[in-house]
Amino acid sequence: MSKQNRRSFIKTVGLGAAAATAATYTPFAIGGATKKVVVIGGGMGGSVAAKYIRMMDKSVEVTLIEANKDYYTCFASNEVLSGERSLDSIKFGYGGLKGHGINVVHDKVTDINARARKVVTAGGHSFAYDRCIVSPGIDFKYDQIEGYDANVANTSIPHAWKAGPQTQMLRNQLKDMRNGGTVAICPPPNPFRCPPGPYERASQIAHYLKAHKPKSKIIILDPKPKFSKMGLFTGGWERHYGYKTDNSMIEWHGTPKGSDDNVLTSIDVKTKTATTGFSEVKADVLNVIPAQKAGKIAFTAGLTNESGWCPVRGDTFESTIHKNIHVIGDSAIQSPLPKSGYAANSEGKVCAAAVVALLNGESAPDPTYVNTCYSVIAPGDGISVAMVYGFKDGKIIKIKGSGGLTPGKFDAKLREREQYYGYSWFKNITHDTFG
Amino acid sequence: MIRNTITKSALLATGLMLSVQSLAEPSAEALGYTCAGCHGTNGASTGNAIPSLAGLSEGYLIGAMNAYRDDERSSTIMGRIAKGYTEEQIESMASFFAAQPVHSNINQKYDATKARAGAKLHDKYCSSCHTAGGTDPEDDAGLLSGNSKLFMKYTLADFHDGSRDMPKRMKKKMKKMLKKDPDALGKLVNYYGSGK
């Protein structure tokens, strides 16, 4: 039994003892007067689940607990790095959700009592639920990189993998960098939030450097042998950034299976040096994106398994560990759905429909899911990946024949359209979530 | 209203044939909701490139999805998406969007002078088929006035350069219109984008 597992085990046993007394006054929804849902986390998954529950059934009381007053989308945040958009343009408040009759509480959840069906916050409040939806996003495995921790990330070497102040810090560092400087990007190992993200990031930074600091270089130290939309990205890098020439602005160094070539082992904060199994790279701007795991509350509440993510049923997203708690978004084990904003949106709606049905004593409806995700390699060069998913024999499956990537052969007309469809996608998915 | 529909279909499913459950057939709402991330909540797009689906006729929506699925209509992403659905699912999601009120996206930038000229062109060359500015679902066509401006630009460009087939009558009218006014398409796009 791993350390983590033992801790969760003790936690669960502890909760059980507390539950014996709590169970007597826990409201019981079916046939009862109240239907209470507590949603933890106001990101892409939690917010849309809260909103759609209210759209489907106004008799359900929904409380959304989120620590921050504003949410910054991870998608499109790479365009803040290139200066194509402002940080404010990816910032969303919770006024829209309040308008749907959702009780939005800005507080930090410290524990979930699964037996007593209660959520406890740092502010000292307690919220009873019939069903709880947990959507805490990701947390980072800082301990895998020597010299790196949350404090370093917040003060000098940002991961910027949760958009917000760190996004602005990275943008400022790029602006302050000399012409001829080196930007090193260290993407995480699988699985992680937004699989094409690190490579769109390299593209957007290259777009900025090409116009403002053309002697500069971007070095990607990747612990993986390949990456999402790889052919489309490298094709775009050839078109725009001299990739595969001696003068390439972007260098990608992958790691063959079983090797540790470009696996980041340590960093030196002062000199911004990244050390991998194979080399040392001294950077002017260093962007370390650490390996990832489920958000903290998922661990505290004992919702994770040995993988560090949360096992769930694919049709309801109810935890297979704790009854009446659903986990959606990046924290859930939802493969073959990716850890993306659109997948979280789709999962949020499937989960909302299941929660409403179960609270009304009905069986959960048959689910359907979509993922669609855009990246912009350079202005006028947008690409996308899409897939339709269904549910069969207890599992989420890709619908055969559907989905796939933008065609590899460059077509200026279609690539420009994909960029603008991507911008419309941004408008509509954020409005669908927070509006 | 949505709540009622769900309850109704649940009653029908349990009341008429329990075996339906094992077929894993998502409801019209469930299917429609998955489109909202791109096309807007209930198909009302707030972006200026992805079109609205809200309130369009079932016939038009089914035709469009089938054409995308069979690669008979050019697209970026819709060909890939449409291949994920059965005939019944396409009909089902079409019924969901057809039941929504028509949406007009009035928050787009447009050139007012061009929009006025476009309104006149529309009345002269388009309005016999696309009534009420192209907002009446009974026409069995896509939304024109109030639809996303870039989408209208792309669509007209595709009709014009032959990437997308036009009905005979439309082809004739477009030819006539462009002969008289080579900038007609830009004016129409501004009129449709104005949402007036």
pLDDT in tens, A220-243: 999 999 999 999 999 999 999 999
Token pair recorded at residue A124: 């000292």
For residue B14, pLDDT beyond 50: no
Please tell me the predicted confidence (pLDDT) of residue A2. Answer: 41
Burial of B85 (0-12, 13-18, 19+ CB in 10 A): buried
Q: B26-98 — its CATH code?
A: 1.10.760.10
Residues of A in contact with B85 (CB under 8 A): 388, 399, 402
In CATH terms, the superfamily for domain A3-67+107-137+295-367 is FAD/NAD(P)-binding domain (3.50.50.60)
ipTM above 0.85, yes or no: yes
Which residues, including other chains, have CB under 8 Å from residue B79's CB and lie 6 or more apart? Answer: B68, B69, B71, B73
Q: Give the count of alpha carbons within 13 A of A262, CB side only.
A: 23
Task: Indicate the CATH number of B112-194 among 3.40.50.1820, 3.30.1360.230, 3.30.160.40, 1.10.760.10.
Answer: 1.10.760.10
B12 touches chain A (CB under 8 A): no
Q: What is the pLDDT of residue B125?
A: 97
Taking contacts as CB-CB distances below 8 angstroms, the residues of chain B near A402 are 80-85
Rounded CA separation A233/A199 (Å): 7
Joined together, the tokens standing for residue A40 give 């933890």
State the angle between helix axes of A341-359 and A44-56 in degrees (0 to 180), rounded to the nearest 10: 40
Q: Do B26-98 and B112-194 show the same overall fold?
A: yes
Facing residues of A373 across strands? A385
pTM for the whole thing? 0.91
Q: Give counts: helices (H), strands (E), chain B.
A: 9, 0
pLDDT at position B1 over 80: no
- A77 or A30: whose pLDDT is higher? A77
Instruction: Provide the chain A residues 333-352 that lie in CB contact (below 8 A) with chain B.
Output: 342, 345-346, 349-350
From start to end of chain B, where are the E strands? none
Quick one: pLDDT at residue A34? 84
Task: Provide the b/e sequence for B122-145 (b: ≥16 CB within 10 Å).
Answer: beebbeeebeebbbbbebebbbbb
| Average pLDDT rounded to a whole number, residues A95-117 | 98
**Do B41 and A431 count as a contact with CB atoms less than 8 A apart?**
yes
pLDDT of residue A33: 58
Residue B179 pLDDT: 97
Judged against a pLDDT cut of 80, whether residue A316 lies above it is answered with: yes
State yes or no: pLDDT of A52 exceeds 60.
Answer: yes
CA closest to A341 among chain B residues = B37
Q: How does residue B63 score in pLDDT terms, banded at 50, 70 and 90? A: very high
Give the C-alpha separation, A220 to A279, whole Å: 12
* Mean local confidence (pLDDT), B97-110: 95
Nearest CA in chain A to B10: A362
- Listed by start position, the domains of chain A span 3-67+107-137+295-367, 142-291
pLDDT band at A4 (very low <50, low <70, confident <90, very high): very low
Neighbours of A99 (CB within 10 A): 11
Helix (H, G, I), strand (E, B) or coil at A278: coil
**Contact with chain A for residue B17, Cβ under 8 A:** no
> A interface mutation test: which of B9, B34, B74, B90 has the most A CBs within 10 A?
B34
Are A366 and B31 in contact (CB < 8 Å)? Answer: no
- DSSP conformation letters of A27-86: ---TTSS--EEEEE--SHHHHHHHHHHHHH-TTSEEEEE-S-SSEE-STTTHHHHHTSS-
A420 vs B: CB within 8 A? yes
Q: Is A428 close to B50, i.e. CB distance below 8 A? A: yes
What average pLDDT score do residues B17-46 get? 83
Interchain CB distance below 8 Å, B35 and A370: yes
Query: A388 and B85: CB-CB below 8 Å?
Result: yes
Both structure tokens of A375: 């990246």
Instruction: Test B26 with A365 for CB contact under 8 angstroms.
Output: yes
Q: What stretch of H or E contains A284? A: none
* pLDDT above 80 (res A60): yes
Instruction: In whole angstroms, give the CA distance from residue B25 to residue B36.
Output: 19
- Segment A157-214, tens digit of pLDDT: 999 999 999 999 999 999 999 999 999 999 999 999 999 999 999 999 999 999 999 9
Q: Is the pLDDT of residue A30 over 60?
A: no
Segment (H or E) for A239: helix A230-241
Asked if pLDDT for residue A31 goes beyond 60, the answer is no
- In this prediction, residues A327-332 reach a mean pLDDT of 98
Percent of chain B with pLDDT over 90: 86
Measured between CB atoms, does B13 come within 8 Å of chain A? no
Crossing angle for the helix pair A44-56 and A412-434, nearest 10 degrees? 60
- Per-residue pLDDT band at A25 (split at 50, 70, 90): very low
Q: How confident is the model at residue B9 (pLDDT cuts 50, 70, 90)?
A: very low
Tell me if A424 and B35 make a contact (CB, 8 A cut-off): no
Look-up: residue for tokens 């912009």?
Answer: A376
* C-alpha distance from B155 to closest chain A C-alpha (Å): 11
Indicate the pLDDT class of residue A252, thresholds 50, 70 and 90.
Answer: very high
Taking the domains of chain B in order of start, what are their residue ranges?
26-98, 112-194
Chain B residues with CB under 8 Å of A388 CB are 81, 83-85
* Residues constituting chain B: 196
**pLDDT one-digit tens code per residue, A285-309:** 999 999 999 999 999 999 999 999 9
- Above 60 in pLDDT, residue B92? yes
B-facing residues of A in 362-381 (CB < 8 A) are 362-363, 365-370, 372
Domain A142-291 sits in CATH 3.90.580.10? no
Residues within 8 A of A (CB atoms), B 80-139 only: 80-85, 89
